[in-house]
A = this chain, B = another copy of it.
Amino acid sequence: MAKRKVGAAPTVYDVADAAAVSIATVSRAVRNPESVTPATRERVEQAIHELGYVPSAPARALADRRTGAYGLLLPGFDDLEDAAAPAPSDGSVRITDDRGNRSPIGGAPLYYDEVLRGAEVEAWRHGAALLVAVGRGQGHDIAGRVDGLAVFARTMTDDAIARVAGRTPVVLLADEQAARGIDSVSVDNARGMRALVEHVVGELGIRDLAYLAGPKDSPDDAVRRTGLGQALAAHKVDSRSVRVRHGDFGRARAAQVAAELIAERAPRALVCANDQSALGALDAIRAAGLRVPDDIVVTGFDGIEAGAYATPPITTVRQPMRALGGAAIRALEARIADPTAAPQHLTLPVEVLLRESCPPAL
């Protein structure tokens, strides 16, 4: 038996020695147990167990010419780069007066967790692992580590995407203006907003609307507004009659804007570009002494947790985040299976959740 370096992880050679077979047999026993005699398989498994052998993924990847891992590039939040110092507990507990603070965790919607899980489950089903990185413009750092990369919109420069795509399959996530040549999976935001507004106008018969928008340069907001316009057109509501005010997707600003809107004249329905804005709208409406949905119906968009717990709970459009993650991995696998296929652009349906702020019927 060759000398085995102690301290180092055991390799196929160690297992082969222990089981008195060749490394080829060890490899086969692991990868394709059927191809080995039950007796030898037994011996090899025994050796593996005793040594605590775990195959080296890098070596396997090198030999296989595939890593068996997919990458997911998440957007970073601006306030997020402060992974604070260790700060072990010295026994004291900080007590903070948090009244008035409404942004428990930086105000960012935390639905990426869902996307991640959808992707992880799908990767796992295919025996692959999932590598996660936060977009920092480049993404070269993980391109060499994976068989495919799922990239959220606006987490990499177009240039960087093009470069990486030249080497590895790439799928764009939640980018409704996806580059032509690259696969994409997105969510049908426009149709979601359209369905929501059609409910307000068509089912509830409300024709006096106002729209609480997001920042003027937000692509997300633009798409949602398109859906709004379509719904209005479908029901012959003059879109010029709908007052539009821009917020910043945040609750506080939304409350201000909504208050101004109401002071001017209260609309029968206030359609908000996202849930945070809708929460702000509720604040303003309550402050104005009006009731939701009796005086004003309010709608949000996104399906954040807090919306369901608001008073009243907010009607919203929920994006299928978990499905988005799963679809991304499937798209990568399809691309790997057929590298020459035409670019695929998959659009997942959203779901309108009617809650008390804008109920099924008045």
Q: Does A93 contact B (CB under 8 A)?
A: yes
Q: Does A94 contact B (CB under 8 A)?
A: yes
Query: CB-CB contacts of A81-122 with B at 8 A, as 1s and 0s?
Result: 111101111111111111101111100001111101110111
Q: Which of A112-168 touch B at CB < 8 Å?
A: 112-114, 116-118, 120-122, 124-125, 127, 129-134, 136, 140-145, 163-164, 166-168
A174 to chain B, nearest CB (A): 14
Q: Does A80 contact B (CB under 8 A)?
A: yes
Contacts of A56 in B (CB 8 A): 62, 144
**Would you call B308 and A102 a contact (CB within 8 A)?**
yes
Contacts of A98 in B (CB 8 A): 308, 313, 315, 353-355
- Among candidates B54, B305, B347, residue contacting A304 with C-beta atoms closer than 8 Å: B305
Q: How many copies does the complex hold?
A: 2
Q: Which of A201-255 touch B at CB < 8 Å?
A: none
Tell whether A52 pairs with B166 under 8 Å between CB atoms, given A121-B134, A132-B132: yes
A56 to chain B, nearest CB (A): 5
Q: Does A327 contact B (CB under 8 A)?
A: yes
**Would you call B94 and A352 a contact (CB within 8 A)?**
yes
Interface size class of A (residues with CB under 8 A): 35 or more
Tell whether A346 pairs with B88 under 8 Å between CB atoms, given A131-B130, A134-B121, A310-B309: yes
- Among candidates B141, B347, B353, residue contacting A129 with C-beta atoms closer than 8 Å: B141
**Would you call B124 and A133 a contact (CB within 8 A)?**
yes
Query: CB-CB contacts of A287-326 with B at 8 A, as 1s and 0s?
Result: 0000000000000000111111111010100101011011
Contacts of A168 in B (CB 8 A): 9
Contacts of A95 in B (CB 8 A): 195, 199, 351-352, 354
**Would you call B116 and A116 a contact (CB within 8 A)?**
yes
What's the Cα separation between A164 and B191 when bound, in Å? 48
Q: Which of A16-68 touch B at CB < 8 Å?
A: 52, 54-62, 67
**Would you call A96 and B353 a contact (CB within 8 A)?**
yes
Q: Does A257 contact B (CB under 8 A)?
A: no
What's the Cα separation between A37 and B201 when bound, in Å? 71
- Among candidates B127, B129, B134, residue contacting A131 with C-beta atoms closer than 8 Å: B129
What's the Cα separation between A102 and B327 when bound, in Å? 27
What's the Cα separation between A105 and B117 when bound, in Å? 12
A positions within 8 Å CB-CB of B: 9, 52, 54-62, 67, 69, 74, 77, 80-84, 86-99, 101-105, 110-114, 116-118, 120-122, 124-125, 127, 129-134, 136, 140-145, 163-164, 166-168, 188, 191-192, 194-195, 199, 279, 303-311, 313, 315, 318, 320, 322-323, 325-327, 330, 346-356, 359-360
